[in-house]
Structure 1
Amino acid sequence: MYIRLGIKRLSFNLLISKDPSAHQQIMLFRGCLAALATFTLGKKHIRIVYMYVISAGIVFISYWGNMTTIRNITSTMSPGRLSILESFLLLDFQSLLSLDSVGITLIENYIAQLGLAYIFSFVHLGPRYPLLQKLWPFTFLTPSLLCLLPLPHQFLHHVPVFAAVLPLAMVKFVLWTSAFSIMDTISSTYSHYRMLIRDYGLTAVMESEWIRLNVPCVLRTFWILRLMEHTIAYQPVGLEIASILALCKSLLITGCETLTAVLGMTSIISYGCHYIGCFFQWVLLTDDEDDKSIGTVSAILFYILALQTGLTSLEPDKRFVRLCRNFCLLFTALLHFIHNIVNPLLMSLSASHNPSLHRHLRALIVCTFLIVYPVGLMAYLWSHHPMSTFLLAVSAFSVEVIIKVIVSLLIYALFLIDAYRSTFWEKLDDYVYYIRAFGNTVEFCFGIFLFFNGAWILIFESGGAIRAGMMGIHAYFNIWCEARIGWLVFMKRRTAVNKIESLPEASDDQLANLDDVCAICYQEMRTAKITRCNHFFHGVCLRKWLYVQDRCPLCHDILYKFELFNFKIYCESKDSTG
């Protein structure tokens, strides 16, 4: 209640304020609310709104056309001059139809008013009585018809107002009679969405509304229309390359000068990144649905970069530089997304012994691009720009993606070598673990480096709540969570290794007498570990099994009881010593 009273008091203070900017803010706020409400309507209701707006607009256009025509006629006709009707009866067509005469103006207004009356008769939402339908053309044409008669100028100036009374009254009548249905629609819509949120949750409702309203397409259309407007308003010097580049620079600067324009540009970038991802999926012959989110992730990344760098508040030249830097960061992040597409394919091709050479070649070409492009980008940036925090961030992202691609290629090569070996390769798992551990360690170090780089920007260059929040998110997900997961994996592996090393090694005679394969991988056993339940397994296979559970794959007996045994001995010793 107090909040409502405070809002009313604030609105009242703004209304009685003599500052014109306060009234402009109120009108802007109301316009935004009306636009938002109209945007969220369904097809049926938005059609009604558009018909109402068109009918009201036709009335005002008709009034403006009649006023302009009467003003032109009264200004050109002298008091002693014959009226238009008298000139017509005297067959003085030469004076009536000359280019600067009132006859041409009157004919143009006749045609325009007939067209407006015809449109209004089909668009207006009021009662469609036959008499009213016949009155609309006469109502719209009344000022033009009265201009023919020798009437006083003061009377003619008031005629367009009376001519607009009937159609405007119809528009007002429709608005007031629809008030109850509008309130009923709002109430039923509120109840409907309240039930949906209760049953399916707010996220599901927002996602369905996002799809229904097709928000990205609306933002793209808005940004393209805005771009076309600025292109038409731009005065080019010529068709040289320099003028075309200047036009592109001007369009990029004006295309991100407001938050709404940045949203439109974000939608365009999301659209482009989506098709970049589709292109690489086509090159790699994959169709994973998870990889199609590249457009959404790119859009979120670009918009966050725009917010935390204050893109809209910068001067035009600085804004263009900052926009180019944001594009560089976005492109390097896009390389990581492409690596996420090609990495599972490399592992699948090498592990499944896929003989399709062209698929291997396509994956290797993409990996080559992911190495060559970052190297070329870093070489260009370091040769043309001085060292800065931006350059360090781009270089860190680029080196990180190069390391990730090299790690993927090394594991891919190891799996290929193992595919062509005739014997079981026990050291393969160790090699893969060491390579991945090296890659994860490098990625973790770069995450710490980027955190300190962002802290330097926050403290000494451009601070802000959004940048601080993003640094907190980066510190939690990319540093703390990664460190915790890596440490858990390391401890789990070390525990499994200690357990395996405590088991006895099978001798050659035992393996010869067994003459069997490993029950986990079904490969020949040249070396094996013997469990407490007297079963033989590869040491590597058993270690992988211990990552999942501590029971034997064959008899389900507990593989390792030394910790429990040692704990019992410790407890007994404590009891004996009192």
Structure 2
Amino acid sequence: MYENNVSIEICRHHTKGQRVCYCREWEIDLMMWQVKVQREQVEAVVGVILRIPSLVLAELWFRTSPEKLTNQPDDVTFIITVIYYLSLFFALALAALPLKNLVYLYIYTLSAGLVCFNWYMSHLFVNTELTQESESPMFLTDSSETQRVLLHLLTQCITSAFICYLLEITNWTRFVFLAFVLPILAKIMGMPSDVISGVHNFSTIFTILLVAFTVFNNLSYTFETVRVLLRKLSEAVTEFGWIPVILASWNTLHVGIQLLIFWIYMFISHIYVFIKVGNSVIIQEGFSMIFLAVVGECCATPISLLALSVTVSYFSYFILTFTKIFLQGWRGYMNDNDTFRGWTEGGTMLLIAFQTGLTDLKPIQRTFLMSILLFIVVSSLIESMYEVADPILLSLSAAHNRNIFKHFRAVLLFTFLWMFPLYMTYSICQYFTLDFWLLVIISSGILTTFQALGSLMVYSLFIYDSLRENSWEKLDDVIYYTRATVRVFEFLVALFVVCFGLKETLVGHWSLINSAILIVHCYFNVYKRLETGWKTFLLRREAVSRVESLPQATEEQLNSLSDVCPICFSTMTQAKVTTCNHFFHATCLRKWLYVKDTCPMCHKKIEVKKNEDNQTGIVVENNYVHNLMERDDELSEESDMSESDTESDASTEILEEDNDQIIDNVEAERAALQTIQNNDA
């Protein structure tokens, strides 16, 4: 007994220790995962920071050109041209290298910069010695001269030590970086100025040879790295294609974040420069004109234009996400986080800017064109906000949500959506003369205003229906006519734009671009709207005809059914009977038939039969009536067969009684059939 208790206790301790071990292993795994996530985030941040200078170099490369140099010797022009194109390759290396190779590149670049700094300090020291009148050593007699020499010596030593630390040099070769200490030692030893200058020249030549040797020694490694990267790129393109590789590289290198930070930095720097030495005429126009001028200056090259488009995309994403959070809270954002939201506005900006040749215009022209581009982008953003908010507004009203703050926020947002486009239209018409192009641009904002007002009206109808004690049967019709009215206004706006364009084409100045835009606008905004509206009207009329053709359920049928409507799950006091003998509310069935022409339960097609006068009649070939007629024929045949069958007296009597009952049922069903047909007629 004692041994059993000991074994049980040992098992308990073993199980407990095993659980503790599992918990510790889980905690260790969790900590390792957190460390891995933090490391990936840190690497991403470091990669973004280290690659932003490539965008700055590319921007400077586009803004400058060796051809602008004048009154320069040919050798100087050649050197500047070589440096000009090498800077582009250096920018490409900063943008495309993996993070490990990128860090090495920065280390070597920083080391080269420090070597140049040592040369510059030595050059200043030698020039100071050459400008002195007396060549006698004053190192020990003059305290200021002693401090200057010691400061140069200390600077050279610290810089050389830091270079060795960056390059991880620990052997005797680290002393070669002290080459620019030799002129200082010559000064301490009391040598004349010309000798000190010769020592400086020797140190310069020695350092150049050292750098050249290092470059040629690592040239094979550089070529091998480039070859491996190109081979991997070729394999990825062969297997996946160019577009997936570009998208994967965009996400892996976080190019969007790089462009965003680069453009914000450039925008802030241009604002500072503009305020310091800006145009006083533009400054007097106010903040809006300053903003347009700075934004126009920040898109003068393809790199800055791409950065502006990405910035617009991120700004639009932030606005649309904030719209969703404003209406539904943080939970709504977590349930539906569309990462591609907002890129339509950025793509629109980039496309229109390239079509209009924005980068080739003068600064004042870019300023005025930027106002048009920003109006188009903001109009597109307002429309995207409406597309995000419209389903949320209608769901609040249709679901009878009682949260008054959600309703207030939704109504407030839609008030902004229909008022702000009108304000933008009024503002832009103050600066530009109304023509066909301007009318095409402002028409999108006007259409958004009509759509927002229509949504508010539909929302008000749903709210009114929720406040009623009984359901409003005409609600669907009123909503349809409300939306149809909004569509009519949209069609009239599009038609007005077409008529204005035709007038300007026939009376004013004709151009091929205006005619092409007019044709496209006429097809998409006039013809397609008219076609869609007409199809919707025909579908609705067909659905109404189908519902009206179905027989009305009697009170006895509803009592025997004792069920709810399969669509809305509400009690049926009145119902329509389909051809497949299913019962629905007439309003619910009509809404269903707007989308499909089949039964919601069995998906059998609900047809409308037309009479001889080509007028839509009442459906009399539904399954309920067919069942009555087929059962009538079958029972008649059975009654005839039962009358002729006299083999057994007992069976004959039973059959006669059954036949009498069957005949009575047939007569009753015939009477019911005749009543339904008379009512339908």
How would you bin the TM-score normalised by the shorter chain? 0.7 to 0.9
1:256 aligns with 2:299: yes
RMSD: 4.4
2:402 matched residue in structure 1: 355
1:376 matched residue in structure 2: 423
Partner SS for 2:402: coil
1:222 matched residue in structure 2: 262
1:276 aligns with 2:319: yes
Check whether the contact 2:327–2:389 (CA below 8 A) recurs between aligned residues.
yes
Matching residue within 106, 109, 118 for 1:53: 109
**Amino acid of the structure 1 residue aligned with 2:229:** T
2:141 matched residue in structure 1: 92
Pairing 1:2-401 to 2, within 5 Å after superposition? 28-77=84-133, 81-84=134-137, 87-88=138-139, 91-93=140-142, 97=145, 106-124=149-167, 128-137=169-178, 139-148=179-188, 156-194=196-234, 196=236, 202-230=242-270, 233=273, 236=276, 242=284, 245=287, 251-286=294-329, 287-288=332-333, 289=336, 293-382=340-429, 386-389=433-436, 391-401=438-448
Pairing 1:549-560 to 2, within 5 Å after superposition? 549-560=596-607
Check whether the contact 2:394–2:459 (CA below 8 A) recurs between aligned residues.
yes
1:530 matched residue in structure 2: 577
- Partner Cα distance (1:216, 1:452) in 2: 42
Alignment CA distance shift 1:448-1:561 (3 Å): closer
- Partner Cα distance (2:563, 2:224) in 1: 79
Q: CA deviation at 1:352?
A: 1.4
Check whether the contact 1:216–1:267 (CA below 8 A) recurs between aligned residues.
yes
Q: CA deviation at 1:363?
A: 0.5
Alignment CA distance shift 1:318-1:22 (3 Å): farther
Alignment CA distance shift 1:251-1:406 (3 Å): closer
**Amino acid of the structure 1 residue aligned with 2:113:** G
- What do the CA deviations read for 1:469-526 (whole angstroms, capped 9, x no partner)? 9999978876777666656555544444444444344466765676654333333445
- What do the CA deviations read for 1:308-365 (whole angstroms, capped 9, x no partner)? 3333333333322222232233223222122122211111111211111111111111
Alignment CA distance shift 1:443-1:290 (3 Å): farther
Partner SS for 1:434: helix
Greater C-alpha radius of gyration: 2
What are structure 1's unaligned runs of at least 5 residues? 1-17, 98-102, 564-578
Q: CA deviation at 1:401?
A: 1.4
- What do the CA deviations read for 1:415-449 (whole angstroms, capped 9, x no partner)? 22333445454433333333334434544565676
Check whether the contact 1:237–1:243 (CA below 8 A) recurs between aligned residues.
no
Pairing 1:349-498 to 2, within 5 Å after superposition? 349-382=396-429, 386-389=433-436, 391-443=438-490, 446=493, 489-498=536-545
Partner SS for 2:414: helix
Partner SS for 1:285: helix
- Partner Cα distance (1:243, 1:22) in 2: 45
Which moves more between the two structures, 191-200 or 445-454?
445-454
Alignment CA distance shift 1:376-1:228 (3 Å): closer
1:9 matched residue in structure 2: none
Q: CA deviation at 1:468?
A: 10
Q: CA deviation at 1:168?
A: 4.2
Alignment CA distance shift 1:379-1:480 (3 Å): closer
- Partner Cα distance (2:163, 2:503) in 1: 64
Q: CA deviation at 1:50?
A: 0.6
Alignment CA distance shift 1:512-1:230 (3 Å): closer
Check whether the contact 1:70–1:147 (CA below 8 A) recurs between aligned residues.
no
- Partner Cα distance (1:359, 1:285) in 2: 8
Alignment CA distance shift 1:367-1:106 (3 Å): same
Check whether the contact 2:491–2:529 (CA below 8 A) recurs between aligned residues.
yes
**Amino acid of the structure 2 residue aligned with 1:92:** T
Check whether the contact 1:277–1:292 (CA below 8 A) recurs between aligned residues.
no
With structure 2 as the length reference, what TM-score do the two structures score? 0.65
2:640 matched residue in structure 1: none
Check whether the contact 1:59–1:164 (CA below 8 A) recurs between aligned residues.
no
**Amino acid of the structure 2 residue aligned with 1:82:** E
- Partner Cα distance (1:491, 1:19) in 2: 80
- Partner Cα distance (1:368, 1:27) in 2: 57
Identity across aligned pairs (percent)? 27
Q: CA deviation at 1:187?
A: 3.9
Q: CA deviation at 1:105?
A: 5.5
- What do the CA deviations read for 1:400-423 (whole angstroms, capped 9, x no partner)? 111111111122122223334454
- What do the CA deviations read for 1:183-228 (whole angstroms, capped 9, x no partner)? 4433443444455556666544433322332223322333344345
- Partner Cα distance (1:462, 1:186) in 2: 54
- Partner Cα distance (1:414, 1:314) in 2: 51
Q: CA deviation at 1:83?
A: 3.2
With structure 1 as the length reference, what TM-score do the two structures score? 0.75
Check whether the contact 1:518–1:524 (CA below 8 A) recurs between aligned residues.
yes
Alignment CA distance shift 1:235-1:41 (3 Å): same
What are structure 2's unaligned runs of at least 5 residues? 1-73, 611-681
Alignment CA distance shift 1:250-1:498 (3 Å): closer
- What do the CA deviations read for 1:232-284 (whole angstroms, capped 9, x no partner)? 5457489x985985865653443233332333333444444333334333321
Q: CA deviation at 1:163?
A: 1.6
- Partner Cα distance (2:249, 2:466) in 1: 50
2:6 matched residue in structure 1: none
Alignment CA distance shift 1:430-1:295 (3 Å): same
Q: CA deviation at 1:46?
A: 0.5
Check whether the contact 1:550–1:558 (CA below 8 A) recurs between aligned residues.
yes
- Partner Cα distance (1:479, 1:21) in 2: 60
